[in-house]
Amino acid sequence: MVNYGIRGNLAIGGVLAIIKSILMPFVVFVVAAHVIGLPSVWVGVATLIAACPTGVFSFIMANQFGTGHAMSTNGIAITTAISVFTVSFWLWFIQVQGY
C-alpha cells in the first residue's frame, strides 16, 4: 500500500469513501430500525459497524485479482482519515434518535 499512496483515482476514492462513510450507515440504520425493527442496541451496533472505515481486505482482494490497487488504497486512506468525524457523527446520531 505504501507504493500507491493517495494519488490517481482520487475522485473515485472520494466518492467511494462518502458512500461507505455516510450513505451505507444511513441505509443500515433505516433497515435495522424501521424495516427489520431490531432492538435498540443492535441498531446502534449495526450502524456503527457500517460506519467503520474500509479495511485492508479490499486491498488484499485488489492485489489478488491484480486490479484496483490505487483505488482501494485511496478508499482505505480516505475513509480512515474522515472516520474521526463520521463515526463521531453516527455516535451522536444514534444517541439523538434514542438508540
Number of domains comprising the chain: 1
Is there a domain that residue 53 lies in?
A: yes
Please report the DSSP string for 8-45 in residue order. Answer: SSHHHHHHHHHIIIIIHHHHHHHIIIIII---HHHHHH
Q: Is residue 4 part of a domain?
A: no
Residue 2 falls within a domain, yes or no?
Answer: no
Burial class for 32, CB neighbours closer than 10 Å (0-12, 13-18, 19+):
buried
- Expressed as residue numbers, the domain containing 65 is 10-97
Does 66 fall in a domain?
Answer: yes
Considering the domain boundaries, does residue 3 fall inside one? no
Sign of the CA dihedral running 12, 13, 18, 20: positive
Per-residue pLDDT tens digits of the chain, which is 99 residues long: 556 556 666 778 788 889 999 999 999 999 999 999 999 999 999 999 999 998 887 878 888 888 777 778 888 888 999 999 999 999 999 999 998
Would you say residue 17 lies in a domain? yes
Residue 56's pLDDT is 80
The answer to whether residue 59 sits within a structural domain is: yes
Asked whether residue 5 is assigned to any structural domain, the reply reads no
